[in-house]
Amino acid sequence: MSGSNNDFRLFYKKMKTESLPDIVIENFKHHYQRLAGGETGMVPETDIDPVETLADIETQSGGELAKTGEDIIHKAVIIKLNGGLGTSMGMQRAKSLLKVKDDYSFLDIIVRQARHLNRPVPVIFMNSFSTQVDTLKALAAYPELKNENIPFDFLQHKIPKVDEGSLRPVECKKNRDLDWCPPGHGDIYPALLTSGMLNRLLSEGREYAFISNSDNLGAVMDPCLLGYFANTGSPFMMEVADRTEADKKGGHLARLKTGRYILREIAQTPEADMDAFQDIYRHKYFNTNNIWIHLPSLKVLMKKKNGVLALPMICNRKTLDPRDPESAPVVQLETAMGAAIAVFDAAEAIRVPRTRFTPVKNTGDLLAVQSDRYLLNGKFQLVPNPKRTIDSIQIDLDPAYYRFIDRFENHFPFGVPSLVDCESLTIKGDVRFGSHVKLKGWVALSNTGRESFEIEDRQRIQGALHV
């Protein structure tokens, strides 16, 4: 069933009732009309070409670029995407408040990273309504960060979910909150504008914004990258890294036939093109979601387009209640921040080392970061342990026992095991760890019994262990 102008009026009324800004309504209208017109947001392989080569920050003249970056770092600002609750790990508060390394939370480390730059740079969080209160409460512990002219945060918006069958607004009488969804981190552009944050930053002389996910501790303000970005004169730059098998489901960089870059997500890929999407030798670069924006250029573009950047649409098909697979099917109309690479003229992409991408999306990622595979250096940067003998690690934890953070922590009451020499870890069943356990090489632990099995203190394990 196709939507109609009458159907959009229902959305308009719903969004106006919630006092959403006109720019948000216009952005939603743009994507809704595309959906109602039969567009899917798909990007077939025939519409794009692979990106063969890119500039590489590791081969640039670091000293000169670092000096350029240091000279203009007073014009920079750090923005962290902080809207997630970590619900996939069973959390009910801002994910950035999770203790992730050496008893520090993501937020603690982010703040310290910024504070240990040669010249401190303001840190701003784009919160959701779900994360704002907890985040601001945690930031109260850092009064030295307070800037009367630049607030700690601004809010991302919300948009209505669309009933998949009728293309009308959903109405959940039991829980009205389920009527709404986040619009994806592509909302950062209208949110910067409607919150007044963009104008505040410009009035304070801030021209360059480095934006990244709060759960990626590898994403630090780098003067070399800042200097490179400034030298290009580009309004937009995306950091990309080499794809591995672990990244084949993440968004990759490509070129449109016009020559412009485009970011293609897995949700935008037709089923027939999935093999090409996941071919890491064809599409070699993935988006780290570390983005650099020239703020004056963003303001000019937003004004030119009346606040509607018309980013590529992502139709995220879910159920009305994410916890109830039998609830009504809905469409969430989302956009990705990195998709703006297709909108800005002369947008750039640059290859960066893998160390700038250490996200924590699940408890397996958390285990790796908490372990001795990574260290916090004197500037609170998360760096690979120099004693590490293997670059990558595959971790597969039994979701029945390790998916949620409280159960995960209960299985490591004395701290996580040493993984510095581990290349693969698979755990099936209920396995708990004593203190100072060391795992080496390929490790597979399996407990098929009903009772919990505990690995004793100071055990050294390599290979398979079945109990």
Q: How far is CA 457 from CA 5, 11, 126, in A?
A: 67, 59, 43
336 φ, ψ (degrees, to nearest 5): -105, 140
Cα gap 419→423, rounded to integer Å: 8
- Cα–chain-centroid distance for residue 21? 25
Its sign, for the CA torsion 188, 202, 154, 210, is: positive
422 plus 284 within the same structural domain: no
What pLDDT was estimated at residue 274?
97
What pLDDT was estimated at residue 407?
96
456 plus 373 within the same structural domain: yes
Q: Which of 335, 356, 377 is the last residue of a domain?
A: 356
What pLDDT was estimated at residue 1?
46
Q: Which amino acid is at 141?
A: A
Cα gap 420→438, rounded to integer Å: 9
- Cα–chain-centroid distance for residue 399? 22
Strand (E) positions, 69-207?
76-82, 99-101, 104-105, 123-127, 153-155, 159-160, 162-163, 180-181
What pLDDT was estimated at residue 389?
83
pLDDT tens per residue across span 101-122: 999 999 999 999 999 998 989 9
189 plus 104 within the same structural domain: yes
Contacts 24+ apart (CB under 8 A), 8-11: 8/32, 8/33, 8/36, 10/168, 10/169, 11/160, 11/169
Cα gap 389→301, rounded to integer Å: 47
Cα gap 159→26, rounded to integer Å: 11
Report the DSSP pairing between strands 431-433 and 453-455. parallel
126 plus 270 within the same structural domain: yes
Its sign, for the CA torsion 214, 218, 223, 224, is: negative
Given a cut of 70, the residues of the chain with pLDDT beneath it are 1-6
What pLDDT was estimated at residue 145?
83
425 plus 453 within the same structural domain: yes
35 plus 134 within the same structural domain: yes
240 plus 367 within the same structural domain: no
Q: Which of 326, 356, 386 is the last residue of a domain?
A: 356
367 plus 344 within the same structural domain: no
250 torsion bin: left (phi>0), alpha (psi -120 to 50), beta (else): beta
The CATH code of the domain that includes 424 is 2.160.10.10
The CATH code of the domain that includes 337 is 3.90.550.10
CB 224 within 8 A of CB 60: yes
Coil, strand, or helix at residue 200?
Answer: helix
Q: Which of 290, 323, 356 is the last residue of a domain?
A: 356
Enclosing domain of residue 398:
363-466
312 plus 384 within the same structural domain: no
Domain count, the chain: 2
Question: What is residue 450's DSSP assignment?
Answer: S
